[in-house]
Amino acid sequence: MSKDYYKILGVDKNASQSDIKKAFSKLAHKYHPDKKGGNEEKFKEINEAYQVLKDKEKRQKYDQFGSDFSSGFSGAGANPFGGGFSWQDFSRQGFGGFNNSEAGFDFGDIGDIFGDFFGGSRRSSRQSHKGRDIQTEVDISFEESVFGTEKHLRLNKKIVCDKCNGKCGSNSQTCKKCNGSGRVTVQQQTFFGNFASVTICPDCDGTGNIFKDTCNKCGGAGSINGTEEIKVKIPAGISDGQTIRLSGKGESGSKGSVSGDLYIIIRVSKSSKFERKGDDIFSTIKLKYSQLIKGDKILVDTIDGEVKLKIPELTSSGKVFILKGKGVSKLNSRGRGDHHVKVILDVPKYLNKDQKKLIEELEKRGL
Ligand SMILES: [Zn+2]
Ligand SMILES: [Zn+2]
């Protein structure tokens, strides 16, 4: 049998996706089989309708063939698919849609819907006007990541209207429609009867107040497009890819509501001298054969500058020396990591006759 999914959800044929979702959540909540007064049959039907209408492509196909369905039942000739065709069959064959009648409900969706539903009923109007969170990236050098730095950012975003100071207007009066509560109860007629639901007052947009004189700069929104300079302290020891969150530095909310947050992703450029793993720094130094065999005193580049290092005699190529506390500041605790210096043999690219002779001498002496 063909079903009118719009009627089942109690929505208009031109209903928006959000209206469909709202209608579904209301009905699914009411008829959920686990609830008192629930109705599994109705719940299944509601879910079936929603599975089709929430999906743009399925909804389009349904709309396209929907009229044929209704006329089709009066005579086999009017139904392009012959008798007995139903949307369930069509969706199964056509585009791998729901399998509602056999497989039960799409619980994933129900969870999502109930989440919205309960969240929605608790959500205050201040939160619904909350400014958007924004995200930006900041490039810093290796040295800046090690020692910390301060950066000035210029962000294009919604800022508080400077004319009304985010108040949206002047001569505020209590909204007559909601008596200042910001919420109104609406009756909705659906296939299954009338439902009362509480929504944000459309007149005052949930603020409870109406301005006699609306601000002409922001049009009563309380926020405008603008730029803001933001100073951000980047702590010593930060790593590539880490994020700094600045609470309330996102876009301004409308209607005097709270601002969103700013998320700053840190990008650290590579160093030609050093590599970093956690709080430790690694570098490699090439030494001559004689330095490794006889030992030497050398200077090692660290993030603090040059540091003396004694190479003992008979040092193997590949040996690692640790310079304690010469690494990166620990981000969330005291102290610093270490610097690991690896010494390797600097094999010459070329030997002259003299050098070759000496090497042969060394070889004869067992070296
Ligand atoms: Zn109101
Ligand atoms: Zn304004």
The larger pLDDT score, comparing residue 84 to residue 198, is at 198
Write the DSSP assignment of 97-143 as a string of letters. ---HHHH---HHHHHHHHHHHHHHHH--HHHHTPPPPEEEEEEE-HH
- Residue 74 and residue 50 share a domain: yes
Mean pLDDT over 29-48 rounds to 81
Q: What is the CATH number of the domain that holds 156?
A: 2.60.260.20
Mean pLDDT of 88-93: 33
Q: How many angstroms is it from 25 CA to the middle of ligand 1?
A: 24
User: pLDDT-derived band of residue 66, with 50, 70 and 90 as boundaries?
Assistant: low
The whole-number pLDDT of residue 141 equals: 95
Instruction: Please report whether residue 142 resides in a domain.
Output: yes
Q: Which ligand is nearest the CA of 224, by number?
A: 2
Cα–ligand 2 centroid distance for 154 (angstroms): 22
Does 220 reside within a domain?
no
For the CA of 205, the nearest ligand: 1
Give the per-residue pLDDT at 192: 66
Instruction: Note whether 195 and 139 are same-domain residues.
Output: no
Ligand 1 ion: nearby residues, β-carbon < 5 Å: 175, 177-178, 201, 203-204
Tell me what pLDDT residue 74 has: 30
Ligand 1 midpoint to CA 10 (Å): 26
In a domain, 112, yes or no: yes
Ligand with smallest separation from the Cα of 252: 2
Percent of the chain residues past pLDDT 70, beyond the cut: 81
Instruction: Clarify whether residues 237 and 332 are in a common domain.
Output: no
Q: Indicate if 301 and 193 belong to the same structural domain.
A: no
pLDDT of residue 204: 86
Average pLDDT score, the chain? 81
b (16+ CB within 10 A) / e for 208-221 = bbbbeebbeebebb
- Give the pLDDT score at 155: 94
Neighbours of ion ligand 2 (CB under 5 A): 161, 163-164, 215, 217-218
Q: Is the pLDDT of residue 87 over 70?
A: no
- For ligand 1, the distance from its centroid to the CA atom of residue 32, given in whole angstroms, is 32
Whether residue 102 is found in the same domain as residue 177 = no
Distance from Cα 191 to the centre of ligand 1, integer Å? 29
Question: Residue 166 Cα, ligand 2 centroid: separation in angstroms?
Answer: 6
pLDDT tens string 91-144:
333 333 333 333 333 333 443 333 333 333 334 444 567 899 999 999 999 999
Q: Which among 141, 189, 133, 159 is positioned nearest to 11, based on CA atoms? A: 189
Please indicate, yes or no, if residue 333 is contained in any of the structural domains: yes
Q: Which ligand is nearest to the CA of 169?
A: 2
Q: Quick: pLDDT tens for 257-302.
A: 889 999 999 999 999 999 999 999 999 999 999 999 999 999 999 9
3-class DSSP assignment, residue 364: helix
Same domain (yes/no): 111, 45: yes
One domain, residues 74 and 200: no
The Cα 295–Cα 326 span in angstroms is: 23
Ligand nearest to the CA of 179: 1
Q: What is the pLDDT of residues 49-63, one digit of tens each?
A: 888 888 888 888 777
Please indicate, yes or no, if residue 327 is contained in any of the structural domains. Answer: yes
Task: Indicate if the pLDDT at residue 360 is higher than 90.
Answer: yes
Report pTM.
0.56
Does 204 or 291 have the greater pLDDT score? 291
Ligand 2 centroid to Cα of residue 133, in Å, is: 21
Report yes or no on 221 lying in a domain.
no
Residues 260 and 139 placed together within one structural domain of the fold: yes
* Distance of alpha carbon 125 from alpha carbon 119, whole angstroms: 12
Q: 106: closest CA among 50, 30, 34, 57?
A: 50
Count of structural domains within the chain: 4
User: What confidence category does residue 13 fall into, taking pLDDT thresholds of 50, 70 and 90?
Assistant: confident
User: Residue 220 CA: which ligand is closest?
Assistant: 2
CA 311/CA 294 separation, integer angstroms: 9
Compute the distance from residue 327 Cα to the ligand 2 centre, in Å. Answer: 51
Most confident of 116-125, 148-157, 329-338: 148-157
Ligand closest to 222 (CA) is: 2
Domain span including residue 97: 5-122
Q: pLDDT (tens digit, 9 = 90+) per residue, 157-190?
A: 999 999 998 888 888 899 999 999 988 888 777 6
pLDDT value at position 82?
34
- C-alpha 43 – ligand 2 centre gap (Å): 47
Question: Quick one: pLDDT at residue 48?
Answer: 84
The two beta strands, 296-302 and 305-311, are: antiparallel
Span from the CA of 130 to the centroid of ligand 2 (angstroms): 16
Q: To which H or E segment does residue 154 belong? A: strand 149-160
Q: 255 C-alpha vs ligand 2 centroid, how far in Å? A: 9
- Residue 127 in any domain: the answer is no
User: Per the domain annotation, does 316 fall within a domain?
Assistant: yes
φ/ψ of residue 121, rounded to 5: -75, -25
CA of 222 to the centre of ligand 2 (A): 5
The whole-angstrom separation of Cα 262 and Cα 245 is: 6
Q: What is the pLDDT of residue 104?
A: 35
Contact 193, 151 (CB under 8 A): no
Q: Are strands 134-140 and 243-246 parallel, antiparallel or unpaired?
A: unpaired
What is d(CA 63, CA 92) in angstroms, rounded to the nearest whole number?
Answer: 17
d(CA 226, CA 159): 6
224 CA distance to ligand 2 centroid (A)? Answer: 8
Helix (H) / strand (E) containing 181: none
**Rounded distance between C-alpha atoms, residue 336 and residue 279, angstroms:** 7
